[in-house]
Amino acid sequence: MIPTILVDDEYMILRGLQKLIDWQELGFDIVSTFQDPNQALQFVRQPQPQLLITDMNMPEIDGPDFIAQVRSAQPDIAIIVLSGYGDFEYVRAGLQNGALDYLRKPVDPDELTAALTKARKELSGVAKRREESALAQQQQLQHVLVTATGYQNTEIMQDLGLQSPDEHVELRVVAILNPDRKLLEAFLARSPAVVGYFWEQQDAILLLSGTWPNVRHWLSTMPAGIGPTRRPVVISPPVMAPAELHRQYTAVLHAGQIAYFYQAADGLVVIPQTAAAPPKLPIPALDWVADQLATMDLNQMEDEMLTLYEQITKQQVSVAYARQLGLVFLMALNSRTHHALPHYEEYVSQINNADTVSGLTKTLGAAILTAKTVQNTNYSASVQQVVDIIQHHYHEPVQITDIADELHLNAVYLGQLFKKETGQTFSQYLADWRINRAKSLLRQGGLDIGLIAEEVGYQNNGYFYKVFKKQVGVSPRVYREQERQIKA
């Protein structure tokens, strides 16, 4: 719907216009009517109406002057003027000031409909041009920030108003992580402090002008769904020179990556002007970690992994370090299994591409469980294939009959062979694997127990509780609490 206002000093004219046609059917919404053009001017200064239909002969303000003030406040608004038979000079003045069309009183419904059709077409063109202009500006700002030498393009810098910035105006690069796109764009459209913005996948990158108090006020005016109380917002220090734009953009991206990796749900991250001091808590050297792991059994390794990742999550260390630490653990696991850890290359890839710390520790937890199963085992090829399928598909409905069909073996024979070599039936082995995986997730904390049940292959929470208590001796909730008390 196109927001529309009607202005005429005669009440009956306004009332008649509203009833003359079906505005909604034509795509127009009359948001307000005014008899006083001064009140209409105040309303027009808000970014609401797109179409104005106004009388040109009103006592409060001269028609041409009213049109000129409206056009100054809203350059893209479409205007249709109304006139009596003796008001041609007013009509001509209105057209000269950019009115789209004029209608004679009394207004004919067909002529009004034709004028509205013309207005809708004009506004559609305005919206398209505005969209193309905004897209061009986004591409220009992206070039300036993403390219190290982008600031050297004088034409783009001039278009963005950055060629000769006022030395008293502070510029900052801002990232808003994964906001509601439509809500944010509507807010930015009415934010004079925003020099420009573009989208980096799901994140908005902005160039913001203003002193720090101005920035804080701008943050306080953000709608609740996109502000720092609901989404992570990263702000660079002031950009001291155009050549620093790329460096500050890179710093903001790095801080955003850390916020994503450690799964920050909200909060304001302000990058300091100078490099932050090293964290007070020591970050263990990777070589030291490797030496410590060499003397640990698999259960100790798992405890150490959970402890270290809890520590680095608090310190928000670099993503590169977190991944390298994961690879150190994986190499220790592979060494413990005499370099026979199944799916080793797959685990390496998952660690190198981990988007979150929880995803990384989940991969390491799975690798530890895998290492536990291969220690001191020497299975036949068929049984090893069954074990591999369980370890990779335990979260799915896994049946021995389906696996037997896949391996082209008799299900009864495969089940007997599996029990002979592992000492457990297929169902017992699958349940043990699932419960061990659930215990690992419970020790990590954070995940809802119902989600953990689904994660390890139990769609029925009640059945999961029953199996878990039978295997472990306590419920999942009690087990998690016991582990927390041990850590404390």
What pLDDT, on a 0 to 100 scale, did the predictor assign at position 276? 53
For the stretch 307-365, pLDDT in tens is 899 888 888 888 989 999 999 999 988 877 767 788 889 999 999 999 999 999 999 99
- Mean of all residue pLDDT scores within the chain: 86
CA angle 465, 446, 298 (to 5 degrees): 80
Tell whether domain 286-487 is in CATH 1.10.760.10: no
Q: Say if residues 79 and 100 touch (Cβ distance below 8 Å).
A: yes
Token pair in block for residue 80: 């249709």
What pLDDT does residue 377 have?
A: 64
Beta bridge partners of residue 29, listed in sequence order: 3
CA 62 to chain centre: 50
Provide the strand spans (E) within 35-179: 51-55, 78-83, 101-104, 171-176
Rg (CA), the chain: 34
What pLDDT is recorded for position 417?
93
CA distance 283 to 312: 7
% of the chain surpassing 70 pLDDT: 92
- Cα–chain-centroid distance for residue 128? 26
pLDDT-based confidence at 231, cuts 50/70/90? confident
Half-sphere exposure of 51 (CA within 13 A, CB side): 26
Structure confidence at residue 338 (pLDDT): 67
Confidence of residue 74 (pLDDT cuts 50, 70, 90): confident
pLDDT at 279 over 70: no
Among 55, 51, 12, 53, smallest CA distance to 28 is for 51
Distances in whole angstroms, Cα of residue 311 to Cα of each of 314, 322, 410, 484: 5, 11, 50, 15
Q: What pLDDT is attached to residue 240? A: 83
Distance, in Å, from the CA atom of 473 to the CA atom of 88, rounded to the nearest integer, reads: 94
Phi, psi of 223, deg, nearest 5: -55, 150
Summarised one tens digit per residue, pLDDT across range 436-452 is 888 888 877 778 899 99
Give residue limits of the domains in the chain: 2-126, 163-270, 286-487
Q: What are phi and psi of 434, to 5 degrees?
A: -65, -45
Topology given in CATH for the domain delimited by 163-270 = Alpha-Beta Plaits (3.30.70)
Do 286-487 and 2-126 have the same topology in CATH?
no
Q: What is the pLDDT of residue 126?
A: 84
- Is the model's pLDDT at 166 over the cut of 70? no
What average pLDDT does the segment 418-443 reach?
88
CA atoms within 13 A on the CB side of 250: 8
- The reported pLDDT for the residue numbered 416 is 94
Q: Are 38 and 15 in contact (CB under 8 A)?
A: no
The class level of CATH for 2-126 reads alpha beta
> Can you give the pLDDT at residue 37?
92
